[in-house]
Amino acid sequence: MLSGERPEGCDFYIRSPDGKGEMTVWSRPTGDRLCIGLTGRTEHQLVMDILNGKYEHIMHPAVGISGR
């Protein structure tokens, strides 16, 4: 259930402008915990995905998929 208010004592809180989602972080994750929480991938997996071009459309949006 969405609360819409920052819980007391949390390290980080954000709510989407449309009010459909929110994220509360109680302790700041680092490394693999952070990557898994944001992307579902470990640091190593994320780096390999970037190096293999999986995020090329984000890194270079003007090029897009057809520019490979």
* Distinct helix (H) and strand (E) counts, the chain: 3, 2
Best CA proximity match to 4, nearest among 16, 26, 27: 16
The confidence score (pLDDT) of residue 43 equals: 93
Could you report the per-residue pLDDT of 40-56, keeping only the tens digit for each? 999 999 999 999 999 88
* Model-wide pTM > 0.85: no
> Which residue, chain included where needed, has tokens 């490979």?
68
Largest CA distance in the chain: 47
Q: What is the pLDDT of residues 16-42, one digit of tens each?
A: 888 888 888 888 778 888 888 888 999
